[in-house]
Amino acid sequence: MLKIGFLASGRGSNFQAIVDTINEGAIKAEPALLVADKADAYAIQRAQKLGIEHMYLDPGAYKSKDEYYEAITSEMKARGVGLVVLAGFMRIVRKPLLEAFPMKVMNIHPALLPSFAGLHGHGDALAYGVKVSGCTVHFVDEGMDTGPVIIQAAAPVYDDDTEETLSERILKLEHRIFPEAVRLFADGRLEVHGRRVRVKGNRSPEDYIINPTVQQ
Ligand code: GAR
């Protein structure tokens, strides 16, 4: 069975959504480890409650960024992890982890990539004035939110939206598409061809983009 390692920096609601879906029996995988880069990340408390092994690895305790990712890689490898999930991990992942897990590191970003990459997806979308935003699950490469896209979901942006209201609306979609992307990976249905990720087997057109009009 696929073992999943999680990296998180904060609240961990995406981590929770994926583990809940696993526990419902909808994803054939086992959560093996959660690593947090912040000692007070709420994701750690969630892991504790869920009975999932967890640890805080302090980035400041390593001589270089690469050494930090080497440490994470060896913790993941020691537990036989086959997929690394970035669940609100606010750092750019570096080569040691990516080379050990090629096209096996997934991230969620709260905007429709390639728009509004980086740390301020919601605020940047609002400031630009777009009428539709959303979220993207993608495989991770060395760039900032630049890897091949797996699933996206769209959400409307309303005139009176604030970062808070927009992020709340998008988060609901995140909690649907991230478990779905992990499920497809666990079932061996994701094929990467250059930048394009294809899903093997039948999917209806509605499966590709979650329609905002049926979401609210
Ligand atoms: C999520 O909205 C996720 O899309 C975003 O951080 C939040 C984490 O929430 N990630 C990024 O912005 C990555 N650049 P969570 O800790 O409750 O899952």
98-153 pLDDT tens trace: 999 999 999 999 999 999 999 999 999 999 999 999 999 999 999 999 999 999 99
Q: Taking 90 as the threshold, does the pLDDT of residue 206 lie above it?
A: no
Within 10 Å of residue 130's Cβ, how many Cβ atoms? 16
Average pLDDT over residues 36-55: 98
In this structure, is the dihedral angle defined by the CA atoms of residues 21, 39, 173 and 140, taken in order, positive or negative?
negative
Architecture of domain 108-216: 3-Layer(aba) Sandwich (3.40)
Q: Taking 90 as the threshold, does the pLDDT of residue 72 lie above it?
A: yes
Q: Taking 60 as the threshold, does the pLDDT of residue 216 lie above it?
A: no
109-123 pLDDT tens trace: 999 999 999 999 999
155 Cα to the center of ligand 1, angstroms: 16
173 Cα to the center of ligand 1, angstroms: 12
Average pLDDT over residues 151-162: 96
For ligand 1, atom 6, the nearest C-alpha belongs to: 88
First to last CA, the chain: 35
Chain region(s) in the chain for CATH 3.40.50.170: 1-102, 108-216
Active site residues: 109
More confident residue, 87 or 209: 87
Does the C-beta of 73 come closer than 6 Å to ligand 1?
Answer: no
Q: What is the spatial distance between Cα 64 and Cα 77, in angstroms, rounded to a whole number?
A: 20
Does the C-beta of 161 come closer than 6 Å to ligand 1?
Answer: no
Place of tokens 């959560």: 31
- pTM of the complete model: 0.94
Pocket probe for ligand 1: among 9, 11, 37, the residue whose CB has the most ligand atoms within 8 Å is 11
Tell me, letter by letter, the H, E, C secondary structure of 43-90.
HHHHHHHHCCCEEECCHHHCCCHHHHHHHHHHHHHHCCCCEEEECCCC
Place of tokens 């979308």: 125
How many helices (H) and strands (E) the chain has is answered by: 6, 10
Strands 29-36 and 2-8: parallel
Fold category of 1-102 in CATH:
Rossmann fold (3.40.50)
108 Cα to the center of ligand 1, angstroms: 7
